[in-house]
Amino acid sequence: MSEEAGGWSTIESDEGVFTALVENLGVKDVQFEELVSLDADTIRSLSPVYGVIFLFKWVSGHSRNASSPQDGTFDPLAVENGLFFAAQTIQNACGTQAVLSVILNQDSPSTSSSGIDIGPELRSFKEFTAGFPPDLRGETLSNSARIRNAHNVFARSSPFVDETSRPPPSEEDAELYHFIAYLPFGGKLYELDGLQPHPIAHGSCDSEEFPEKVIEVLQRRIGRYPEGEIRFNLMAVVRDLRIRAQEIGDVEMLEREKRKRGNWGWENSLRKCNFIDFTGQLLKGVVGMKLQQGTEEYDKWIEAAKKATKKRAEMRGANRHG
């Protein structure tokens, strides 16, 4: 994505994507871990945990409410007390915004058991927006070329669809998903949702209590969905697990984490490849080679391909009715 491009592309909810995203922005020693079970012990086993990112299906009617949230209480004074909270002002940016909601609020040892080194670029961004209200912070985030380009590196590659320019889908013709963040800050558990007018407080909470208390809030939220709904994703923001493995001398864990990083790197490199364009170029090369052999040979090749395709279709039809 060029520096001039102004849109935000859709990216996947993936632990390797989010880990590489924050590393590209200069964040040190942080990774994301997908949680496959909704229990406090799983979160605690990854300690220190800076927060969690929750992805869920958007339900009509769960929109911005200026009076009160469905759970918890609005805490507009939290921003004045140092909490970084930005309104979501642009499509497709909610994943990165939820990630930054955790990262930018856990950069001090006073807010967690071990603060995050957010790097000079995000430090500069946080300091620049320190006195801004949430809506202006959201606009500043959306217009940050550095953050936008780091996000768009992981866009789905397609020669046919420009994710940055197409209009957002309506609730009637598309399933919408949304990211929000939960984290302990200043002795409270906060829910940071850029579509809400203020941070949402869920009672007192410190880093030690966070695993139990966030699970309680998530269970209440999931309980509002119809029975059988499973389209949720939960990721923990944790310290680089390779560091932990080295500290406790767990060689097996260290090797496992190194292999995981290698897999993430491979998967992220594939995300940047345009395989449709590659296939098109390959077909052009094959057709060009056949044409060099002469028109007669080219026509024979086309007819043979048609017969083979027809035969495969007939065999599939026979198998379906057999």
Residues that are catalytic: 94, 178
Maximum pairwise Cα distance, the chain = 80
Closest CA to 72 of 230, 180, 228, 234: 180
Q: Across the chain, where does the E strand assignment appear?
A: 30-34, 49-57, 73-74, 177-185, 188-192, 200-204, 232-239
CA distances from 278 to 285, 301, 305 (A): 11, 22, 21
Residue 26 near residue 77, CB atoms below 8 Å: no
Q: List 28's β-bridge partners, or say none.
A: 117
| Number of other residues whose CB lies within 10 A of the CB of residue 107 | 20
d(CA 186, CA 238): 19
CA distances from 39 to 47, 99, 185, 206 (A): 14, 21, 21, 17
Closest CA to 190 of 199, 177, 198: 199
Residue 51 near residue 202, CB atoms below 8 Å: no
CB-based contacts of 250, cutoff 8 Å, min separation 6: 244
- Is omega for the bond preceding 48 within 30 degrees of 0, making it cis? yes
293 burial type by CB count under 10 A (0-12 exposed, 13-18 middle, 19+ buried):
exposed
Residue 102 near residue 225, CB atoms below 8 Å: no
